A and B are shown apart, each in its own frame.
Chain A
Amino acid sequence: MPRTPADRLLIETVTANPAWSVVLLLLDLSRSAAALALPALLAAAVDAQTTGGDLGTVGLLAGLVAVLILLDIASLLVSPWHVNTLVLGLRRDLLGHVLRLGVRDRAAFSTGDLTTRLLTNTGEVASVVPLAAGWIGSLLMSGGALVALALIDWRLCVAFAVGAPVVTLIIRFFVGRASPLMTDYMTVQGSIAGRLTEVLTGLRSVRAAGAERREIDRVLTGLPELHRAGRASWALQGRLNLHASLVLPLIQVAVVATAGYTLLAGELTPGQFAAATAYAGMAFGLFNQANAFMALAQARAGARRLAEVLTVGATARGARELPAGPGELTFRGVSVPGGYADLTVPGGAMAAVVGESGAGKSTLLQLAGRLLDPDEGEVLLDGVPLRDLSPPALADAVSWAFERPAYLPGTVADAIGFGSPGGVREAARLARADTFVRRLPAGYDTPCADAPLSGGERQRLGLARALARPARLLILDDAVSSVDSVTELHISHALAAHPATRLVATHRASLAARADLVVWLDGTGVRAVAPHADLLEQADYRGLFGAEREPIHV
């Protein structure tokens, strides 16, 4: 059978921490052995007690019960410990892997979907270990019970074995069906979660349109499908139960009838008769594992969902360090939306990247700092191809600010210090964030999640974060678009005086005018690389800023 990535993941999980998996298995096996001994000892005690009384056998029975209880406790402590360790490992792997995906690969999954995979599916996968151990234990117990039946009288064992193949066929039929049902259910669930996230992101617009109820209906369009998938799995369980519950008593009664016959013939004691009943019941366990198989099917479905993410290739890492240099940025035949880019930004220069919405400014910037790898061509920083650089070397060299900062963890100070913990306040002053931060309830110690930040204020935190890192290349992707005009004026002064090589995507003529050169994108690649003043002669270029429509002097 060819192994799917999901099955490989399950096998890796079982063997990830082998010592504990073995301990868990041993515990389950010991419990099965003790449970197997119980009816035999019980039979001996019943026989002893019905023929005059023998407290020694009863004492042994009590001892066995104590051992069973202790094994139960040990299993209850070890099993969650082991499972939680595995879950922790799986969650770390998944999180670490997602965080190392390229921005495009990451965008294939919604945040809500990834979170569900991290929280729910990891647990389903890790539970495969106790499921497997419990399964082996119960096999031992059922098999042992069968042997015990044979030891009491071989005819009992034969009576039991007759019904076995029928039940096996039913179980196989069931497992084949349950797994796709589970996957259906999870897929519909994921799509509902995805639409809900969309709506919550645009909640203000939804409110303004008075469209709450409509949106609720839209999010819930998949609900009937979810309902059907759920009901189908219940119906399946019911069918399985009917088959199983009809077949199993038939076998049990066959065994007990045989035992009754031998009891009648005087070949069995009453105690052994009772033990035969108990062993027949234990041997049933072999076929009465609908829940275990259901859980196993769920573990496979969960593994499939984890593997879907884990098999997406993470960004390849280089190993080279970056030699000292001014921060010269070179694009050599790099494919960009609609064309190619060949350009050099000298070390320490400020380059404005301009173009209409959708002309590829963000892509160019992401290529410049290797948030994306180009399909063709090479991007170099101080002569070293970016893809050859080690991740720490690249991270030290480049700092970023975005239109919408997406990760502001902890306090305001934590968020600004995310790139580099030193110089938080100085960076905040440069980004004109210091004043409003100090007005927050706990100043720099205010948790970002509690701070009522406007879009412009968030941008300034993001800019401060970028400025806090002493990098040789500073990439600003429309990073002051929501800032008011007065503040923006101050920030552009600070940017113009910054020592790093700066790549600044902007819609504003004032910023372009302050740049040493302008990279002009028009959707077919780079249209021109030249100073702002030179480009102003072209009407298309002036049109980008709408400058000719603004009254100049009043």
Chain B
Amino acid sequence: MSDTGRDTGFRLLGRSLRARRRELVLLAVWSAVEALPAMASGLFMARAVDRGFLAGDLATGLWWLAGVLAAYSVGAVASRFTYPLLGAVIEPLRDDLLRAVVAGLVHGPEHALPDGASTARVTQQVESVRRTVTALLNGLRRFVFTTAAAVFGLSALAGEIVWVTIPPVLLSAALFGLLLPSLARRQRAALTAGERVSADAAAAFAGHRDIAAFGRAGEVTAEVGAAMTVERHAQQRMARALAARSVVTAIGGYLPLLSLIVATPWLLGRGLTVGLVIGAATYLTMHLDPAMKTLTDLVGGSGLQLSVTLGRLTETIRAVPAAPPATTPAPATADVRAERLTFAYDPGAEPVLRDLSFHVPDGGHLAVIGPSGIGKSTLALLLAGLGAPDGGLVTVGGRPPARDHVALLPQESYVFTGTYRDNLRYLHPEATDADLLDAARAVGAGPLVEGGLDAPLDPGALSLGQRQLVALARAYVSPARLVVLDEATCHLDPAAEARAERAFRERPGTLVVIAHRAASALRADEILLLDGARAWSGRHETLVAESPLYAELVGAQTSPVC
């Protein structure tokens, strides 16, 4: 779990790998053992040729070959251990990442369109990190140990061979460095285009019903297809850069061999044997060439991909707060007091609430009404302790509101896959089954729990109104003494809404209803009317007399036929 407030993907990766230091050290040890054939094969082969087969001594030749076999056997046993060790590093890393990402999303900003796009994107990013770190670790350890082993073997054969074969390798590495920036640029462009496709496709999947309703499946497919084509072009540009990189790989792979062949007469002239040349060729073709290919694939492919993906994940995981807010004991009463309350979403923006004052006694019932966009939901958030006012004061039971002691139900009710019991006791984990069933019946959700509390709840199968009933029952059973319903009954029919509100009125504690229908206001003890310019509060009779807006709102709601 990420415990710092400003985490980055890179730091998380570093921390996760450091925590697996033991496995990494073991991995290095076994990798060194695994590279034994890369060190011994050419040398033993040269000896087998020079002292055995070319010297007319079959037994000596076979003994040296048995040495090669022994080296490979030891290497094979080592690889039996390296894979599970890689898994022991990679799988916990994926766990750490996934935990950090889920925490980052849950703590992060609310999304304008919660459509699953962000979920799919981060799942992909996490898998991408898993894949690329695997490739990097696997490739790097092979490159490092194989190259070192092969160079060691070559120099053990003869110093001259190193001078002939290693310069092209270094040239290749230098050229590769020059190609990196343009490759990185193109890779970034391809990733950005890919993210666009991801977002567009997710929006289209989420918007399926609307698209079907307007008969626009073909057009939307074509539009998202256009973004896919853009991604394809970006991929092609990247493929061209990768092809250029392969020339560099070839220089590092083939040139040492060619220069060995060209230099052979000179090497033989300096007293080297045919067996040594063959041994050197063994090192170059069997070990060094594959190692070079691995390196270039890694740094150009997985390395860049990893750095870009980690950068993007950083945006997600940095939202996790340093520590959970401390829990405070519940206040004994829940009288709500606001004094000159002011709040703006941006320091420079026009305040949504300005100098708002009101008081609800413990056990009271306040309805808040006003046109949409006037700051009613903002007030609900402040009452629930989910935001701090820019000016003035709001208190519940004499203290700043703490979300642990307020049950706030927003318009979008949250239900999750699980049993009805899990869903209903969400705000009160200790509640008994009898409490839960009573709460469900009280708010009108009785029919939903007829199948028992163990029945599974499938969010997709519930209507918006049924979801609200579940959320209402959950708030009803919660121990909170202050309940704030922010249009939490808007998907219910008026009769069901009235029943739910009545249940909350009879429940001990204070009730604040952000009213969706004027009827809600009529049920309250006290009404707070916000209209942007100013606020009125008072009883129904007072407001009708004092506020033309109130009269209009209530008048508009009343059925003209009655």
Contact = CB atoms under 8 A, between A and B. Distances in A.
Contacts of B261: 42, 45-46, 49, 58, 61
Contacts of A96: 217-218, 221
Interface centre among A116, A256, A403 (most CB of B within 10 A): A256
B110 interface: yes
Interface stretch (A136-144, A165-173, A175-183, A485-493): A485-493
Interface bin, chain B = 35 or more
A95 B224 contact: yes
Nearest to A396: B215
A201 B414 contact: yes
Contact of A260 (B52, B210, B325): B52
A138 to B, nearest CB: 14
B79 A53 contact: no
B329 to A, nearest CB: 15
B214 A554 contact: no
Interface stretch (B151-159, B180-188, B460-468): B460-468
B58 interface: yes
A545 B417 CA distance: 32
Nearest to A478: B491
Contact of A406 (B61, B206, B324, B418): B206
Contacts of B163: none
B118 A200 contact: yes
Given A450-B112, A550-B519, A193 B119 contact: yes
Interface of B is mostly: helix
Contacts of A226: 94-95, 98
A50 B370 CA distance: 97
Interface in B76-92: 76-77, 79-84, 86-88, 90-92
A474 B207 CA distance: 19
Contacts of B459: 198
B198 A49 contact: no
Contacts of A200: 105-106, 111, 114, 116, 118-119
B490 interface: yes
B250 interface: yes
Given A45-B261, A119-B198, A205-B414, A547 B562 contact: yes
Interface string A100-120: 110100110011111110111
A532 B560 CA distance: 12
Nearest to B268: A50
Interface string B204-236: 111111111111111011011100110010011
B261 to A, nearest CB: 5
B172 to A, nearest CB: 12
Given A69-B247, A543-B495, A483 B372 contact: yes
Contacts of A110: 116
Contacts of B559: 509-510, 513, 545, 547, 550, 552
Contacts of A46: 261, 264, 277-278, 281
B4 interface: no
A235 B413 contact: no
Interface string B90-129: 1110110011001101110011111111111001100100
B519 A260 contact: no
Given A46-B264, A92-B221, A230 B87 contact: yes
A195 B274 CA distance: 67
A469 interface: yes
A264 B56 contact: yes
B271 interface: no
Interface in B242-271: 242-243, 246-247, 250, 254, 257-258, 261-262, 264-265, 268
B519 A549 contact: yes
A195 B495 contact: no
B426 interface: yes
B197 interface: yes
Contacts of B83: 234-235, 237-238, 241
Contact of B246 (A76, A400, A469): A76
Contacts of B240: 77
A305 to B, nearest CB: 13
A85 B210 CA distance: 29
B76 A245 contact: yes
A201 B218 CA distance: 28
Contacts of B247: 69, 73
A237 to B, nearest CB: 5
Contact of A88 (B225, B239, B460): B225
Nearest to A277: B282
Nearest to A545: B494
Given A239-B80, A260-B62, A510-B559, A50 B274 contact: yes
A134 interface: no
A29 B324 CA distance: 61
Interface in B163-197: 194, 197
A333 B262 CA distance: 90
A455 B516 CA distance: 12
B435 interface: no
B488 to A, nearest CB: 10
A402 interface: yes
Given A220-B98, A249-B76, A371-B213, A550 B58 contact: no
A216 B414 CA distance: 15
Given A394-B215, A509-B559, A510-B560, A205 B471 contact: yes
B504 to A, nearest CB: 16
Given A196-B119, A235-B83, A513-B559, A242 B103 contact: no
A444 interface: no
Nearest to B52: A260
A241 B463 contact: no
A80 B98 contact: no
A306 interface: no
A434 to B, nearest CB: 14
Given A250-B69, A487-B371, A510-B560, A273 B79 contact: no
B411 A482 contact: yes
B72 A245 contact: yes
A256 B58 contact: no
A99 B417 contact: no
Given A46-B261, A197-B116, A400 B217 contact: no
A153 interface: no
Contacts of A371: 209, 212-213
B535 interface: no
Interface stretch (B12-20, B305-313, B389-397, B550-558): B550-558
Contact of B541 (A53, A277, A452, A554): A554
B281 A234 contact: no
Nearest to A209: B427
Contacts of B235: 80, 84
A230 to B, nearest CB: 4
A274 B95 contact: no
Given A454-B372, A486-B556, A116 B416 contact: no
A26 interface: no
Contacts of B221: 92, 95-96, 99
B106 A216 contact: yes
Interface stretch (A6-14, A342-350, A355-363, A376-384): A355-363
A536 interface: yes
A375 interface: no
Given A202-B414, A212-B107, A85 B232 contact: yes
A327 interface: no
B496 interface: yes
Contacts of B372: 454, 456-457, 482-484, 487
Given A76-B239, A356-B495, 10 more contacts: A73-B246, A99-B212, A115-B117, A115-B198, A223-B98, A223-B99, A227-B91, A234-B91, A260-B53, A407-B203
9 closest A-B pairs by CB: A395-B215, A407-B207, A202-B414, A234-B87, A357-B465, A245-B76, A249-B72, A238-B83, A111-B116
18 contacts: A49-B265, A85-B232, A95-B225, A112-B120, A116-B124, A197-B119, A205-B410, A208-B410, A234-B88, A248-B72, A256-B45, A260-B49, A264-B61, A274-B278, A357-B465, A400-B214, A436-B373, A484-B553
